[in-house]
Structure 1
Amino acid sequence: MTSQKKLQGLVAATVTPMTQDGEINLAVIGQYVDYLINEQGVRSVFVNGTTGEGLSLSTQERKQLAEEWVAKGKDKLDHVIVHVGALSLPESKGLAKHAAEIGVDGIAVIAPSFFKQVNKDALVAFLRDVALEAPGIPFYYYHIPPLTGIQIKVEELLDEMVEQIPSFHGVKFSDRDLLDFGRCIAKNSSGRFALLYGVDEQLLSALTMGATGAVGSTYNYFGKANNLMLEAFAKGDLSTAQKYQFCIQEFLSFAIAEGFGVPQIKAMMSLVSGIPMGPPRLPLASASEEFVANVKVKLEDLKSSLYHLF
């Protein structure tokens, strides 16, 4: 694909469909692509990330998924960004090389997180070595300290990434630290790279600071609502944008109280899209029937008051 379009707007962090016996289910990816475009208005995806259980998949499975998303998204999706991060540098480099060979539109790498005593120079060196395996492919740093435990500020990494990684195109910023995010925005006054926010319930706040787009799991099923929020914000209609954000926050607050993670996101996707996403991979356990029933009731309540959002 290797699109030269600027990555902006909503990017769905895709789930990995699985069969009931825990194997990846490639057969529904084409249906998944059409659903995102036609029902949610989302034309870019982030594959094999946290929501996609990327680090619970084998290297071969990650390659198969990347290939299928590229094949089924051809001439339909604007961007297929594939996460190629791993604990092992050779594994991550191999995934990056494969991604380039199949024609993805971008690669992303998370900070390796088993060894927590990582300094910024070593982290940038790791990212650089992976990016060099796909020199013609836009590279994005995937920053998610709540999961990795690596607390190095993105602001501290930006200058080195720009200098050492010729293919550097931006950051997937999945953290609530708006101070760090704001400092990154200030360093990006020329708009040279993309700063994509990754905490869905705070997207409007990030937009006011200058976020150029967003990557998140809720855009799989709340893409339409979030697109309406983006449109209102672009028009300067903050009141309407707030209405959409507050609606999304209401649902997420409810879901988090019920217990919300990858298993619940997969159940949500199956419920909303009608596409069987299957169970998560162990050690994650499937969402309970009670969760699904409660979510169904909550969605119906939201539809009755804000029917045009869903």
Structure 2
Amino acid sequence: MSRSIKKLTGLVAATFTPLTAEGEINLSVIGPYIDYLIENQNVKSVFINGTTGEGCSLTVDERKQLAAAWCQHGKGKLEQVIVHVGCMSIKDSQELARHAASIGADGIAVISPSYFKPVNADALRLFIKEVSTFAPDLPMYYYHIPSMTGVAFDAADVLNGIEQVIPSFQGVKYTGTDLRDLGQCVCYSQSHNWSVLFGVDEQLLGALVLGVHGAVGSTYNYLGCIVNKMLAAFDNGNHMQTRVLQVQYIFHPMLHV
């Protein structure tokens, strides 16, 4: 990977996919969506076509259109646009990876296949590698979300030695509640300068204690301002204030609509 890489840190909004009343993607709102994230939530990086964006329910063409719109409207505004390219078909994932590189995305992420599942961590590493070869200059992130994929082996087992087969590998989006496994991922990241991003919004405080570098989540679209205050309090060593803000977040009315 020849280009310099900016480490992915802080809050990353897992974006919603805007749709019309007829169920078609609505690209016209993406520009204002970006402005809202930056100006109202102080969130400057996005993770698109993931679980929140219902990426696996969209066509490949729809995912390409969304990725292109986010990159186009986010240029000069957003710090990083990470495009999720995971599919059940490896060829579709490879095509989405190639497309992400062609439109100037800042990185790609991939989930495990969930119908014909990999039998072990070695098989999953091979799948990720085969996708990464279609965008060799883009940072690659493994998207660990066992509650959706049913692939339950440890993310740390996937990360162990992955740099030897995927030179572009840069980290993991960890959407799980196994803090032991998460802690091992953080340990692996330290010698490689990888990013470990936590994906269970309601449990972020526990992940911060373990040393994660940021978080990717749906609620940062509309509660990012509160969570940014929580991150600042934690970084300043004000753990009591961090706890207060975590509780405010958990009981915020917007989480219980």
Q: TM-score, normalised by structure 2?
A: 0.96
Structure 2 gap ranges (5+): none
> 1:179-190 counterparts in 2 under 5 A?
179-190=180-191
1:273 aligns with none
Q: TM-score, normalised by structure 1?
A: 0.80
Q: Which has the higher helix share?
A: 1
Contact kept in structure 2, 1:111 and 1:148, CA below 8 Å = yes
Question: Following the alignment from structure 2 to structure 1, what is the Cα–Cα distance between the partners of residues 201 and 106?
Answer: 23
Question: Following the alignment from structure 1 to structure 2, what is the Cα–Cα distance between the partners of residues 16 and 3?
Answer: 30
Look up the SS of the partner of 2:11 in the other structure.
Answer: strand
> 1:259-278 counterparts in 2 under 5 A?
none
Q: What is the CA-CA distance between 1:117 and the residue it aligns to? A: 5.5
Question: Following the alignment from structure 2 to structure 1, what is the Cα–Cα distance between the partners of residues 189 and 138?
Answer: 20
Describe the superposition over 1:97-144 as per-residue Cα deviations: whole angstroms up to 9, x where unpaired.
000011100000000101235222111111000001000000000000
1:197 aligns with 198
Q: What is the CA-CA distance between 1:250 and the residue it aligns to? A: 1.6
State yes or no: 1:42 paired with 2:43: yes
1:154 aligns with 155
Q: What is the CA-CA distance between 1:152 and the residue it aligns to? A: 1.4
Contact kept in structure 1, 2:118 and 2:124, CA below 8 Å = no
Contact kept in structure 1, 2:171 and 2:189, CA below 8 Å = no
State yes or no: 1:178 paired with 2:179: yes
Contact kept in structure 1, 2:186 and 2:212, CA below 8 Å = yes
Distance 1:73 1:253, change over 3 A: closer
2:26 aligns with 25
Question: Following the alignment from structure 1 to structure 2, what is the Cα–Cα distance between the partners of residues 206 and 35?
Answer: 27
Number of equivalences: 255
> 1:61-210 counterparts in 2 under 5 A?
61-116=62-117, 118-190=119-191, 192-210=193-211
Contact kept in structure 1, 2:7 and 2:194, CA below 8 Å = no
Question: Following the alignment from structure 1 to structure 2, what is the Cα–Cα distance between the partners of residues 15 and 228?
Answer: 23
Question: Following the alignment from structure 1 to structure 2, what is the Cα–Cα distance between the partners of residues 200 and 254?
Answer: 11
Letter in 2 for 1:155: A
Question: Following the alignment from structure 1 to structure 2, what is the Cα–Cα distance between the partners of residues 6 and 117?
Answer: 29
Look up the SS of the partner of 1:65 in the other structure.
Answer: helix
Contact kept in structure 1, 2:5 and 2:139, CA below 8 Å = no
Question: Following the alignment from structure 2 to structure 1, what is the Cα–Cα distance between the partners of residues 139 and 255?
Answer: 37
Question: Following the alignment from structure 1 to structure 2, what is the Cα–Cα distance between the partners of residues 74 and 187?
Answer: 32
1:214 aligns with 215
Question: Following the alignment from structure 2 to structure 1, what is the Cα–Cα distance between the partners of residues 45 and 193?
Answer: 20
Q: What is the CA-CA distance between 1:162 and the residue it aligns to? A: 1.5
Which entry has the higher C-alpha Rg, 1 or 2? 1
Contact kept in structure 1, 2:109 and 2:141, CA below 8 Å = yes
Describe the superposition over 1:175-210 as per-residue Cα deviations: whole angstroms up to 9, x where unpaired.
011010011112233351000000001111101100
Matched residues, percent identical? 54
Question: Following the alignment from structure 2 to structure 1, what is the Cα–Cα distance between the partners of residues 103 and 219?
Answer: 27
Question: Following the alignment from structure 1 to structure 2, what is the Cα–Cα distance between the partners of residues 38 and 91?
Answer: 35
Describe the superposition over 1:15-37 as per-residue Cα deviations: whole angstroms up to 9, x where unpaired.
00000000000000000000000
Runs of 4+ aligned residues of structure 1 deviating over 4 Å after TM superposition are none
Structure 1 gap ranges (5+): 256-294, 296-310
Letter in 2 for 1:196: L
